[in-house]
Amino acid sequence: MNASHRFCIAPMMEWTDRHYRYLARLMSQQTFLYTEMVTSLALIHGDRTRFLAYNEEEHPVALQLGGNQAKQMAQAAEWGAEAGFDEININVGCPSDRVQAGGFGAYLMREPKRVADCVRAMKAVTPTPITVKCRLGVDDDDSYAFFHDFVSEVAEAGTELFIVHARKALLKGLNPKQNREIPELQYDKVYRIKQDFPKLEIILNGGVKSIPEMQQHLKQVDGVMIGREAYKHPQFLLDIDRVLFDADGTKNSLVDVVHLYCRYMDDKLKEGVPLNAMAKHLLSLFQGVPGAKLWRRHLSEHIHQAGADTAVIEDALLLMQRELSLVD
């Protein structure tokens, strides 16, 4: 699938599950979506069907993998491709202690040969694109030369697309949240890597919060990836297709999105999916809109109750609309 990465939503553990991705797709048809990270060992030893589950409406969607053993990564990539994912992405950016203990994520920035070996092994078993999400460096290995050498070696192995979080990672002393905020943003290094490797597709990630900011970055790189802003303030997704992709875009309003997502949840409830597992992604939908606090409070108080169904969502919407005098 030759889909554009002009705008992507980042993989986020416990957030970008298949339910959130379906919700995001109701607001933007063009956005490239990414799964939560799944480790190669989880696929090999765990419930592979559950880990690889997604909705057909999510395309284009990428599977993000964590791991550092070429044979295991190749097996995981093969299963991901067979499941129909449009891309397999290698996590070389997460700085969490758990990921470090496993010897992957940002830790792998220091081992470009190992990453390249994984890429070659994965490309040998599937034609599905193999991409990499990385940082600018780690700890004191933060020079542009270090970053350039990493990209060069991994690109030579066959990776044609790099998603770059425009910060280095500090592997000791900072938690993942701090690693998203404290290390300095260095967009110039991401721009420069695109200039040095013009044939590569370079996607910029980190610190971007608005469509005007995206438009500025897109003058220098091929795409922009946003994480928490797309989750906590998702309304701008309604404008993405029209503004960034020059496409017709959705005609759905936020209220339309709620009704459509309720239909989806009704179907999943019949399959035994708990309401709160799906409805939690709606909490921030009206962020910044008058009545949003009432919306969040009603959902927070009711979606976890035994036997709760989408009537909870419809009630919350009605309460908010009444507050705004949109209905009698």
Cβ contacts of residue 50 below 8 Å, gap of 6+? none
Q: Where are the alpha helices (DSSP H) in the chain?
A: 18-27, 40-45, 48-51, 70-83, 97-101, 112-123, 144-156, 176-179, 187-196, 211-217, 228-232, 237-244, 254-270, 275-279, 292-302, 311-323
Quote the tokens at residue 308: 């709760």
Which neighbouring-strand residues pair with 32?
8
Angle at 203 between CA 246 and CA 236, to 5 degrees: 45
Nearest to 258 by CA among 1, 2, 23, 10: 23
Secondary structure (3-state) at 85: coil
Q: How far apart are CA 99 and CA 158, in angstroms?
A: 24
Question: Quick check: 22 and 37 in contact, CB under 8 A?
Answer: no
> Which residue type is seen at 50?
R
Q: Which two tokens stand for residue 38?
A: 């799944």
Q: Which two tokens stand for residue 41?
A: 């060992």
| Concatenated DSSP letters of 168-182 | -B--SS--HHHHTTS
| Cβ atoms < 10 Å from Cβ of 264 | 17
CB 240 within 8 Å of CB 211: yes
Q: Residue 175: left if φ>0, alpha if ψ -120 to 50, beta else—which one?
A: beta
Catalytic option among 8, 94, 134, 262: 94
Question: Has 94 been annotated as catalytic?
Answer: yes
DSSP 3: -
**Residues labelled as active-site residues:** 94
